[in-house]
Structure 1
Amino acid sequence: MRLDWLEDILAVAETGSFSEAADRRHLTQSAFSRRIQNIEDQVGTELFDRTRKPIHLLKHTEAQRDQIAHLARMLRQLNADLRRGDRMSDNKLVISSQHSLTTSLTPSIIKDISLHRSDIYIRLRSANLADCFAQLLSRQADILIVYRLPGHDHPILGAYIDSVTIGVERLIPVLAPEGLARLSASREAGEVPYIAYPADVFFGQVLERTILPLIRDFGDASPKAETALTLASIEMASMGIGVAWVPESLARDRIDTGKLVDLSETLPSCSLDVTAVRLVGKPRPVEVAVWERLLKYQSADAASGE
C-alpha cells in the first residue's frame, strides 16, 4: 500500500472528519473523498464507519491501526534513507586505519574533516597494516591512515601510491607503578620482561628492528606474553605482567592518571610517522577534498618544525 494512502487513513482516524483530514493532507474535500474511495476500491472493503460522527474506523480497520501507523513510519524512514543515500553516494568516502590509530588519532581527523565538510559521509574501517593495504588495492578503501617507520617504505611500491606524513607518534615503553620494583630486579639480573607482538604484525616488526636490538645491548629481552592488539598490551602492562611498547596517544590517559609509568627515559623508544595513503590515479571529487584537508596536517607539522 502506498504511503500517502496510509497517511490518508491515519488522518481520518485522528481527526474523525473527512473535511479536517482533507485540510491536514492539503487537499480539497472532493479530491480527498475521491482518494478515500480509491483506497477502499483497491483494498476491496470499506474502512470507515460513516454512520457515526465523528467518523470512526471500522472494527477490522481499527484492529490494524497500529500496524498502519508503523508501516507509515517505516515507509517515511525508507524514503528518507533512500534520498539521503542518493545524496551520499557521491560524497561517501571509506577510510581504512590501523587498529591502534582507529582508537586514537583517526577519529579526531575524521571530526576535523566533518567540521570542514559536513556533507561528506565517512565510513571508517579498522584492520591490521597488511589488510589496510589489501583494502586499498581492492578499492574497498579510498584512503589509508597508517603508521610507517621513518626511513622505511610502505609495502606497496611508491609509484603506485601517494603518501603524505600527517603526524608523528612515539612508541613508548610503559608499565604499572607496582611493577617497577620487579622490573628493577629483573634488569639487575640482565633481563627486561616485556609484552611481545607477533612477528608478522607491524608493531612486532618495529620492536624487532628498533627496540629489541637496543635492549639486547645490555640484557636479555624476555617476552612474558604476546598479543597482536595494542590495547591488550596496555592492559597487560597495567597488570604488571611486563613492559609494553605502545603508541603514546593510547597510553597517555593512563600515564596522566598514574596507572602507567612512561619508561622512555630508561628504556628505548622510537618515533613513527602517521601517514595518509591513496592509490595513484584519477580520484573522485570527494577524495580530492579529503586529501586536500589531510595535506593541512602536513603543512601544520612543517610550520611547527616537526
Structure 2
Amino acid sequence: MDSAWLMDFVELAKSGNFSRAAEIRNVTQPAFSRRIKMLEDWAGATLVDRGSHPVELTDAGRQFLDLAVEILERLNKARQLAQEAEQSSKATLRFATTQVLSLSFFPKWLRTIASKFKIDGVHLISGGLEPCEYDMLQGKAQFLLCHHYDGMAFRLPPDEFTWISILPDRLMPVVAADADRKPLYHLDEGNAEALPLLAYEKQTGLGRIFGTVFDMEQLKPKLVPVATSHLALLLGLALEGRGIAWVPASVVRAELARRSLVEAGGPQWSIPMEIRLFRPRERLSPASETFWSYVTPIEPDENWP
C-alpha cells in the first residue's frame, strides 16, 4: 500500500469529485481512479459510492477515512522528527578525546571557542588513544584531541586526516618529595642502579610516546615497573611516593607549585610533545567546518602551561 493512495482518498473525501481531486493531486483522472481502486482492493472493501453526485463515501469508507487521516498525520510527524534529528546530528560536534585531556584541558579549551560562536551541541567520547583512533576511522567522531609526538605509532593515515597544533606540552618525570622537599628518587643520581617506575600500558597514547623515546633495556639507571595503569592512578601512586611517573606538565602544574611532586630528573628526561586536534580531510558538516575555522594555536602562559 502506497501512502499516496491515502492522500488521494482523503482529498477525494474533501472534494467529492474525482476530476477536482485528481487535479489537486496533480495526476490524470484515469490514474487517480486506478489508485483509488487499488486502495479499495488493498482494504478489501468498497470505500467510495461512485453512483452518487457529489461522490460520497460508503460506511466502510467513512470509518477508513478517520484512520487514514490519523496515519498520514503520524507519517508527517515521523518525517518531521527524523528531519529534526538529522539537523541536530549535523549541528552536534562529535569529539573523541583521551581521558587525561577530557578532564584537564577539553572543557576550558572548548569554552574559549564557544565564546566566539554558538555551539549547538557537543558529544564527547573519552577513552584511551586506541579506541579514540578507531572512533575516528569509523566516522563516530569528527575530531580527535590528544597528545602527540612525531615518530610515535599513530593509526590515522596522514593522507586521510589533517591536524592543528593546539598547545605545546611535555611529558616529564615526577616523584614525591621527602621531608626536605627533595625528590625521593632522582634519575641523575649516579649511585642509583634501579628506580621504581609507574608505567603506562604500551598502547596508551602517553605509553606510546614514552616508548618511542626511551628504550627500557638501555636506560641507566634501570627503571623497574612497579605498577602499570592509567594516568589518574599513576599520579596517585606518585603522590604516595611509590615511584617515578612521566606525566604531562599541564596536568601537574598545581602539584609542582605546592611541591607535593617535584621533577625527578634534568631536562634530558622530559619529552617535548603537543596537544593536537585531528580531523578528516574530507569536508564535514557546516557546523563542524565553522568550528574548525575558529581553532587556533594557544600561546602558553600562566593560564595555559
Q: Same fold (TM over 0.5)?
A: yes
Distance in 1 between residues matched to 2:134 and 2:285, nearest whole Å:
20
More deviation in 239-248 or 141-150? 141-150
Q: Verify the 8 A CA contact 1:197 1:203 in the aligned structure 2.
A: yes
SS in 2 for 1:159: coil
The equivalent of 1:256 in structure 2 is 257
**CA distance in 2 between partners of 1:142 and 1:274 (Å):** 17
Give the AA of the match of 1:235.
Answer: G
Match of 2:165 in 1: 165
SS at match of 2:93: strand
Q: Which residue of 2 aligns with 1:47?
A: none
Whether the 8 Å contact between 1:211 and 1:270 is mirrored in structure 2 is: no
Which of the residues 170, 195, 200 maps onto 2:198? 195
Q: Distance in 2 between matches of 1:256 and 1:113?
A: 28
Which residue number corresponds to residue 149 of structure 1?
A: 149
Q: How does 1:218-257 map to 2 (within 5 A)?
A: 218-227=220-229, 229-257=230-258
RMSD between superposed Cα atoms in Å:
3.0
Secondary structure in 1 aligned to 2:224?
Answer: strand
| Cα pair 1:146 1:275 within 8 Å, conserved | yes
Higher helix share: 1
Q: Residue 211 of structure 1 contacts residue 269 of structure 1 at CA under 8 Å; is this kept in 2?
A: no
Tell me by how many angstroms 1:260 deviates: 0.8
What is the alpha-carbon distance in structure 1 between the residues aligned to residue 136 and residue 246 of structure 2?
28
Q: CA deviation at 1:267?
A: 6.3
Determine if contact 2:175/2:184 at 8 Å carries over to the other structure: no
Distance 1:90 1:182, change over 3 A: closer
Corresponding residue number in structure 1 for 2:69: none
The one-letter amino acid of 1:164's match is I
The answer as to whether partners of 2:183 and 2:263 remain within 8 angstroms in 1 is no
Structure 2 vs 1, CA of residues 139 and 171 (structure 1 numbering), >3 Å: closer, same or farther?
A: same
For the 8 Å contact 2:164–2:297, the answer to whether it is kept is no
For residues 54-73 of structure 1, the aligned pairs below 5 Å read none
TM-score (norm 1): 0.63
Segments of 5+ residues of structure 1 without an aligned counterpart are 1-81, 302-306
Offset, 1:121: 1.5
In 1, are the aligned partners of 2:175 and 2:244 still within 8 Å (CA)? yes
> Which runs of structure 2 are paired with 1:95-110 in the superposition (5 Å)?
95-110=95-110
Q: Take 1:102 and 1:216, find their aligned partners in 2: how far apart are those partners? A: 34
The 1-side partners of 2:102 and 2:172 are apart by 18
Question: What is residue 93 of structure 1 aligned with on the other side?
Answer: 93
* Identity within the alignment, %: 20
- Equivalent-residue separation in structure 2 for 1:249 and 1:226 (angstroms): 21
Q: How many residues align?
A: 217
Moved more, 194-203 or 144-153: 144-153
Matched, 1:183 2:189: no
Letter in 1 for 2:289: V
Q: Distance in 2 between matches of 1:181 and 1:280?
A: 46
Do 1:175 and 1:261's aligned partners in 2 also have CA atoms closer than 8 Å?
yes
Counterparts of 1:242 and 1:187 in 2: how far apart (Å)?
17
Indicate if the aligned counterparts of 1:150 and 1:271 stay in contact, CA closer than 8 A: no
TM-score by length of 2: 0.63
The alpha carbon displacement at 1:241 in A equals 0.3
- State the SS of the aligned residue for 1:183: coil
Per-residue CA distance 1:35-71 (angstroms, 9 max, x = gap): xxxxxxxxxxxxxxxxxxxxxxxxxxxxxxxxxxxxx
Instruction: From the superposition, tell whether residues 187 and 102 of structure 1 become closer, same or farther in structure 2 (CA, over 3 Å).
Output: farther
**By how many angstroms is 1:85 displaced?**
6.9
String of CA shifts for 1:86-113, please: whole Å, max 9, x gaps. Answer: 8744421111111111121222221112
Residues 208-237 of structure 1: per-residue CA shift (max 9 Å, x gap): 221355x9443211112111x111111000
More divergent stretch after superposition (281-290 vs 119-128): 119-128
Aligned CA distance change for structure 1 residues 235 and 190 (closer, same or farther; 3 Å): same
Distance 2:183 2:112 in 1: 43
Q: Is the 8 A contact 1:114 1:120 kept in 2?
A: no
